[in-house]
Amino acid sequence: MRQTISILLLLIASISINAQGYTNPVIKGFNPDPSVCRVGDDYYLVTSSFQYFPGVPLYHSKDLVNWEQIGHVLTRESQLYLKGANSGGGIYAPTIRHHNGKFYMITTNVSTVGNFIVTTEDIRGEWSDPIPVNVGGIDPSLFWDEDGKCWYTGSADGGIVLCEVNPDTGEVLSTPKRVWDGTGGRWPEAPHIYKKDGWYYLMIAEGGTEFGHNETIARSRYIEGPYDPAPHNPILAHYKAATQTNPIQGVGHADLVQAHDGSWWLVCLGFRTQSGMHHLLGRETFLAPVRWDKGAWPVVNGTGDIALDMDVSTLPQKPFPIRPDRYEFDEEKLGNEWSWLRNPDMSKYVLENGSLRLYGTGTDLDLLSESPTFVGLRQQDISFTAETCVKLEKARNDDKAGVTVFMDSGAHYDIYLTKKGAKWYVGIRYAMGVLKHVEEELAGGSKVYFRITGDPDFYRFWYSEDGKEYKQLGANHTRYLSSETIGGFTGIMLGLWAQSQSEKGWAEFEYFEYKQM
Ligand code: 6LW
């Protein structure tokens, strides 16, 4: 009897350790076009960053479920020139790979050099300056064959092209060859090659990164093809009737990785809909288990679709400390999760005496060519509340500072404090293309508390003179800032910003707090 009980207890314990499950997205907020690689039992993942600086966020995990941002790949202007870039420009999809002790990241700056590689041997250190790869198109990827050759794949002219390259010099060693156009979906893109059981597998995204997005795969005995498509394509899709009510839509742009326990996993982008069929958080990073039997085609999560709650066995989970809700601005530098627009003048941002001091310039949030004084965090949840306190004691006439719900230049809602003559006003500005709506009312002085609440349908804006009693200043629909309305490839950033014609005043933010509701 005693033996039976101990066997039962062991069985229960083993089930509870393995069947831990997880919640999608595994990286919330604007983190599209994920690419992942493994070194031993460490996993590294990169996402695209468009007009934001630093570029290409870099994440680390021990279990593919819990991710910590360890920095960015592109941290210098010599790697990342973004003048004039908006939500449809700058850095598109990246790929990260590890070969012979060196990390390679290849991506596209559609606003300047096109495709380029950077490398490092220290994943937590600096990466090289760009190594241009003179092949047109976007969504570049690298694959090393067993003979040591390195192959480039990318999306160009409506199909998938392949050529041999030298990944350390960027030299193109063979004429780019069109190897597959997908299964007939528009925009065949995001190619990656994997070799398994004597087959070259070519996995791509089709359908465009909206509601028709899906993932397909083909294989060949030869790297240069011909590639034959899987009979059960798409291997991942949410555009079918069976998934039309799935809160995750637009799944695609995936990458596969074999875990250190031999299991296979897929990361992909998707978006969480709100306010009908809109999305504002940007495309986020999702995870799915893959069954890939010897000589067979990969099967994603059994049914070719994914869920927010994934009740599946995972690797032993190793969570990281979660990001603080409240930033007191008492550190020496802002954390990796903060982003600037285009190439910032970092002298405009000073952490001092427990506050973040922003020196405004004449550059408005709407200007595309320069970098306004703005630093932001990704909105990671459909329902949230954000708060800050801003002081404009050293302001000059018409200086402004506050918080912006920012999708793109010309698509943002701002709440701010401003000085006009000897008086102070709180204001709200809705910028929607050529439509600019401003409301202001008298404020008590040079210090004010702001609160922004978000829900599926509305952003609401509040202010307080004492941080206790809040008064609503305005509200506007989320859908007017959605990706479906604005276009582009990013997601909402909650930004602290300042603007000053005189360029002599400054704003001080005492704290910033963000909470999921
Ligand atoms: C990315 C491409 C795409 O490079 O959008 O629509 C681009 N699909 O795969 C930006 O995410």
Question: Ligand 1 pocket: which of 253, 269, 490 to mutate (most atoms <8 Å of CB)?
Answer: 253
Task: Determine whether 33 is an active site residue.
Answer: yes
Beta carbon of 213 within 6 Å of any ligand 1 atom:
no
CA of 488 to the centre of ligand 1 (A): 10
Q: Given a cut of 60, is residue 17 above it in pLDDT?
A: no
Phi, psi of 223 (to 5 degrees): -60, -35
Q: Is 408 a catalytic residue?
A: no
φ, ψ of residue 7 to 5 degrees: the values are -65, -45
Closest CA to 384 of 295, 486, 301, 456: 456
Q: How many A from CA of 357 to the centre of ligand 1?
A: 36
| Ligand 1 centroid, distance to 344 Cα (angstroms) | 25
Ligand 1: does its nearest atom lie under 6 Å from the Cβ of 489?
A: yes
Is the CB–ligand 1 distance for residue 154 below 6 Å?
A: no
390 confidence band (pLDDT: 50, 70, 90): very high
- Probe ligand 1: pick from 30, 31, 33, max atoms within 8 Å of CB? 33
CA distance linking residue 438 with residue 430, whole number of Å: 7
Enumerate the β-bridge partners of residue 310. Answer: 22
Measuring from atom 10 of ligand 1, which residue has the nearest CA? 92
Could you tell me if the CB of 408 is within 6 A of ligand 1? no
Encoded tokens for 12: 């229960």
Q: Is the pLDDT of residue 323 over 90?
A: no
Structure tokens at 161: 């092209």
Residue nearest to atom 3 of ligand 1 (CA): 209
Task: Quote the CA–CA distance of 98 and 455 in Å, as a whole number.
Answer: 41
Q: How many whole angstroms separate alpha carbon 72 and alpha carbon 86?
A: 19
pLDDT of residue 443: 94
Atom nearest to 92 CA in ligand 1: 4
Q: Rounded to the nearest whole angstrom, what is the distance from the C-alpha of residue 236 to the centroid of ligand 1?
A: 17
- Predicted confidence at residue 20, as pLDDT, reads 85
Which protein residue has the closest C-alpha to ligand 1 atom 9? Answer: 190
- Calculate how far, in angstroms, residue 104's C-alpha sits from the geometric centre of ligand 1: 20
Query: Bridge partners of 397?
Result: none
**What pLDDT band is residue 357 in, cutting at 50, 70 and 90?**
very high
User: Does 4 score more than 80 pLDDT?
Assistant: no
Residue 239 phi, psi (nearest 5): -90, 0
Average pLDDT score, the chain: 95
| pLDDT for 14 | 46
Other CB atoms within a 10 A radius of the CB of residue 343 amount to 17
Ligand 1 and 30: CB distance under 6 A: no
Nearest-angstrom CA–CA distance, 207 and 158: 11
Distance 370 CA to ligand 1 centre (A): 24
Q: Which of 63, 139, 164, 189 is catalytic?
A: 189
Tell me, what amino acid is at 329? F
| Dist CA 452 CA 481 (whole Å) | 15
| C-alpha distances out from residue 256 to 136, 191, 362, 466, Å | 24, 11, 46, 52
138 close to ligand 1 (CB < 6 Angstrom): yes
Asked if 111 and 82 count as a contact pair (C-beta separation under 8 A), the reply is yes
Closest CA to 58 of 113, 127, 115: 127
CB 386 within 8 A of CB 440: no
pLDDT surpassing 90 at residue 128 = yes
- Asked whether the predicted pLDDT for residue 156 surpasses 70, the reply is yes
In angstroms, what CA-CA distances link 421 with 424, 431, 444, 448? 8, 25, 14, 18
- Active-site annotation holder among 33, 139, 408, 508: 33
Largest CA distance in the chain: 86
Work out the average pLDDT over 223-248. 98
Does the CB atom of residue 33 touch ligand 1 within 6 A? Answer: yes
199-213 tens-digit pLDDT: 999 999 999 999 999
pLDDT at 501 over 50: yes
61-80, pLDDT tens digit by residue?
Answer: 999 999 999 999 999 999 99
Ligand 1 nearest-atom number relative to CA 48: 11
The fraction of the chain above a pLDDT of 70, given in percent, is 96
**Sorting pLDDT into bands at 50, 70 and 90, what band is 5?**
low
Q: How confident is the model at residue 10 (pLDDT cuts 50, 70, 90)?
A: low
Judge contact between 489 and 277, C-beta under 8 A. Answer: no
Ligand 1 touching residue 46 (CB < 6 A):
no
The CA-atom distances, in angstroms, between 479 and each of 77, 273, 380, 490 are 34, 11, 16, 15
What pLDDT does residue 368 have? 87
Q: Which of 139, 408, 483 to mutate to test the pocket of ligand 1 (most atoms within 8 A of CB)?
A: 139
Q: Among the atoms of ligand 1, which is closest to the Cα of residue 33?
A: 11
pLDDT band at 503 (very low <50, low <70, confident <90, very high): confident
pLDDT recorded at residue 15: 42
Q: How far away, in angstroms, is 294 Cα from ligand 1 center?
A: 31
Asked if pLDDT for residue 448 goes beyond 60, the answer is yes
Q: Which atom of ligand 1 is nearest to the CA of 108?
A: 4
**pLDDT-derived band at 3, boundaries 50, 70, 90:** low
CA–centroid distance, 138 to ligand 1, in Å, is 8
- Rounded distance from Cα 429 to ligand 1 centre (Å): 31
pLDDT bracket for residue 414 (50, 70, 90): very high
**Is the pLDDT confidence value at 314 over 50?**
yes
The predicted pLDDT at position 16 comes to 39
Residue 96's pLDDT band (boundaries 50, 70, 90)? very high
Residue 301 beta carbon below 6 angstroms from any ligand 1 atom: no
d(CA 512, CA 200): 49
Query: Of all residues in the chain, what percent are helix, strand and coil, respectively (each to 5)?
Result: 5, 45, 45
- What's the whole-number mean pLDDT along residues 38-65? 98
What percentage of residues in the chain have a pLDDT greater than 90? 93
Ligand 1 within 6 A of CB of 209: yes
Q: Which residues are within 8 A (CB) of 240 and not within 5 positions of it... i.e. 6 or more apart?
A: none
Determine the atom of ligand 1 nearest the C-alpha atom of 50: 10
